[in-house]
Amino acid sequence: MLEIRNLHARIAEDGTEIIRGLNLTVKAGEVAAIMGPNGSGKSTLSYILSGRSDYEVTEGDILYNGESILELDPSERAAKGIFLAFQYPVEIPGVATMQFLKVALNEQRKFRGEAELSTPDFIRRVKEAAAQLQINPDMLKRPLNVGFSGGEKKRAEILQMALLEPKLCILDETDSGLDIDALKIVADGVNALRSPDRAVIVITHYQRLLEYIVPDTVHVLYKGQVIKSGDKSLALDLEANGYADIIDAAA
Amino acid sequence: MNMQTAITMTAAETALVDAYTAQIGELPGEGAVLSARDTLLADLKKQGLPTRRVESWHYTDLRALLRSVPDFDPTSFAEKVDPLVPGSSVLAVLNGKADTKNLPAGVNVRSYAESLIDGVAAADLVERDQDDAIGRINGSFVRDGFEIEVPEGTELEQPLELQLVQSAGQSHSRFPVTFGANSKATVIERHLSVSDAASLVTVVSDLILDDGAEITWIILQQQGASDSHLAQVNFDLGTNAKLRLFIINAGGKLVRQEVHGVTTGEGADFKLRGINLLGGETHTDVTFTLGHDVPNTTSTEILRNVLFDRAKGVFQGQIRVAPDAQKTDAKMACNTLLLSDDADFSAKPELEIFADDVQCGHGATVIDINPTHLYYLRARGIPENKARAMLVNAFVDEIVEELEHEGLIETLETIIAAWLEKHA
């Protein structure tokens, strides 16, 4: 589903290279965890996959279902099924949450040549998904993410993901700022989306989230490269021993 | 330099003076009204249109900007349109002529032409001050409008729409409106253009809110791309009177909307909300002065401006607090979204405070669309143009949402969205 080949990327503004020859393959149905110390390029990788223009790809390629996505803008990537759950969801005053959800859903459908959802259909879907994530319907009446607590914002991200039904889900530190109950709810929401034709990339610092969203593969990112890959036991190993040994071995 | 040297009149000044000579025989009113008109015109002739050297016109050099004045066009035709909010009572002024058929019940109304003819209007036809070019032009040429009284204790269930429809030529209207004690009403002053021909429209509304009146006055200005629009609202707020003045500018080539008010009763509250949607090669000026003349009065002013193309916008806001007007609370904000490098907005907030126990503040910001907001919307599959339109809409919609009337909110949102779609 996703194949990243020898990717090099830098910050557009000042040219700082963050991703330095990264290779990664994620198959349909797979849950891949990406771990790594601060500053290793984890969040940058998620932004690059979503098409954020603050970063420039200088070498290599990103293939999604066999096609390069480097020339696609963020909305096209989203409509093709790539979804990034943000580490810091953005508050947008004046944009009603429901209106935002409806426009996003229907613009994606339009892009894929599908019919727009009727309003009753749309509302029913939102209500069902919100109930599953224990989201208070009053929250949806507020402007997008405005005044949401940290946990509410993360749940709102998963709500968007559930509604948009992407094929490649990228969760950027979705566990940060969540208490254990909220973490379980969010993990349940993600697990509900696991399916043979969907891949999930979980970016996290901690093993804790991976107890609830159990990964098929674990990849360690360091200085913009994947320096070690393994199965879920690698995450336990990191939790127990830290990154130093792996980094030393890769050097 | 001899200050008495007569200035060379511009084409617009000449056209105004000539129009007066041509029109005066037909303008309603004699005696005191006629002599008031003569005085105003003589002042206009003597002083000319204001230039940037006149402080209150510094950012809108009317003499340079008003390049020409269309002739009166008595043959042009305009007709009434459906009201903005279904069920509203409509008072129409069509090409400057009040339509006196089917006047609404519940309020006392007569055409301003009647007031000019019987001479009552003579007292209105004076300049606010030396720099009152709008009062001068309007007073010289005023032909019609409506004199309105909302009786004490009356609550108007449906909005009252003052509908000014212009197709060509000139129109000069006045609306002296008295809101009786404890009356409640929503009035929509709506300016429409139904042709591409250039028009000059001037309008002066004088609002008196008696004690406890609660009024929402909405000005929706949608004139044509070649039109000049010079407007003035004057208001006086009695004890515990509340006025919400909501201005949307979404049209016109040269627009000056003045708002001048005083609070004369304790407990009075004034709210100004303004949305300026500016595009093309246009010039739009909102100039506001408010005197907090007595203790314990409040006001807030929020302007949201969106500029495209080569549009120029101006906001001048002056709040004066009289020496004994203690406990005044006044806050003014002017926020501008500049969407073109060639657009320009000038904001000039002024506070003149002569009392010592008051809360007054002002702020002005100029911003671009927040790139993080834009990226977030795009990352959810919303194409860039649509995402931008949503964010611009959000910027002004926060203000529209303050109106409590659902139907009105929806109608205004539709108008704003259509404007943005056309200009983005």
pLDDT by 10-residue block (mean), chain B, 424 residues: 64 94 93 96 95 96 94 85 95 95 92 96 94 97 97 96 95 98 98 93 98 98 96 98 98 98 97 97 98 96 97 97 95 95 95 94 92 96 93 92 91 93 82
CATH number attached to the domain at A2-92+167-250: 3.40.50.300
Which of the two residues, A179 and A104, has the higher pLDDT score? Answer: A104
Closest C-alpha among A10, A31, A27, A57 to residue A191 = A31
Residue B324 in domain = no
Report the number of distinct structural domains present in chain B.
2
CB contact under 8 A, B378 and A164: no
Per-residue pLDDT of A35-65, as tens digits, reads 998 889 999 999 999 999 999 999 999 999 9
Residue B296 in domain = no
Same domain for B248 and B389?
no
Residue B278 in domain = no
DSSP state of B264: -
Name the residue range of residue B237's domain: 11-265
Residue B341 in domain = no
CB contact under 8 A, B380 and A104: yes
Query: For residue A150, what pLDDT is reported?
Result: 87
Query: For residue B6, what pLDDT is reported?
Result: 58
> Given B234, B265, B296, which residue is the final one in a domain?
B265
Q: Average model confidence (pLDDT) for chain A?
A: 93
Paired tokens of A37: 């110390």
CB contact under 8 A, A84 and B379: yes
Query: For residue B191, what pLDDT is reported?
Result: 98
Query: For residue A149, what pLDDT is reported?
Result: 87
Same domain for B373 and B261?
no
Query: For residue B2, what pLDDT is reported?
Result: 47
Task: Using an 8 Å CB-CB cutoff, list chain B residues near A74.
Answer: 375, 378-379
Scanning every residue of chain B, which has its alpha carbon at the shortest distance from the alpha carbon of A102? B382
Beta bridge partners of A88: none
ipTM over cut 0.90: yes
CB contact under 8 A, A160 and B380: yes
Residue B348 in domain = no
* Alpha-carbon span A228 to A244, nearest angstrom: 12
CB contact under 8 A, B381 and A107: yes
Contacts of B98 (CB under 8 A, 6+ apart): B91, B92, B111, B112, B113, B144, B145, B146, B173
* Alpha-carbon span B96 to B119, nearest angstrom: 19
181-240 in chain A: CB under 8 A from chain B: none
User: CB distance from A73 to chain B under 8 Å?
Assistant: yes
Scanning every residue of chain B, which has its alpha carbon at the shortest distance from the alpha carbon of A78? B381
CB contact under 8 A, B387 and A160: no
Query: By three-state DSSP, how is residue B247 classified?
Result: strand
Contacts of B151 (CB under 8 A, 6+ apart): B107, B108, B180, B183
CB contact under 8 A, B382 and A104: yes
Asked if B345 and B310 count as a contact pair (C-beta separation under 8 A), the reply is no
Candidates A92, A105, A144: best to mutate against B (most CBs of B within 10 A) is A92
Same domain for B379 and B256?
no
> What is the domain partition of chain A in residue ranges?
2-92+167-250
Q: Which residue among B372, B378, B390 sits closest to A73, beta carbon to beta carbon?
A: B378
CA distances from A131 to A81, A83, A154, B83 (A): 24, 21, 15, 42
Torsion of CA B125, B126, B128, B134, to 10 degrees: 50
CB contact under 8 A, A104 and B381: yes
* Alpha-carbon span B66 to B362, nearest angstrom: 31
Query: For residue B1, what pLDDT is reported?
Result: 45
Task: Using an 8 Å CB-CB cutoff, list chain A residues near B386.
Answer: 103, 107
Per-residue pLDDT of A195-245, as tens digits, reads 999 999 999 988 888 999 999 999 999 999 999 999 999 998 888 888 888
> Given B244, B265, B286, which residue is the final one in a domain?
B265
Same domain for B374 and B251?
no
Q: Which residue among B373, B384, B398 sits closest to A75, beta carbon to beta carbon?
A: B384
Q: Provide the number of CB pairs (under 8 Å) joining chain A to chain B.
A: 68
Residue B275 in domain = no
CB contact under 8 A, A111 and B390: no
Residue B110 in domain = yes
CB contact under 8 A, A51 and B379: yes
Same domain for B36 and B183?
yes
Q: Which residue among A90, A93, A164 sits closest to B394, beta carbon to beta carbon?
A: A93
Asked if A179 and A106 count as a contact pair (C-beta separation under 8 A), the reply is no
Interface of B with A (CB under 8 A): 372-373, 375-384, 386-387, 390-391, 393-395, 397-398
Beta bridge partners of B97: B94
> Given B265, B294, B313, which residue is the final one in a domain?
B265
Q: Which residue among B376, B383, B386 sits closest to A92, beta carbon to beta carbon?
A: B376
Residue B295 in domain = no
Query: By three-state DSSP, how is residue B418 classified?
Result: helix
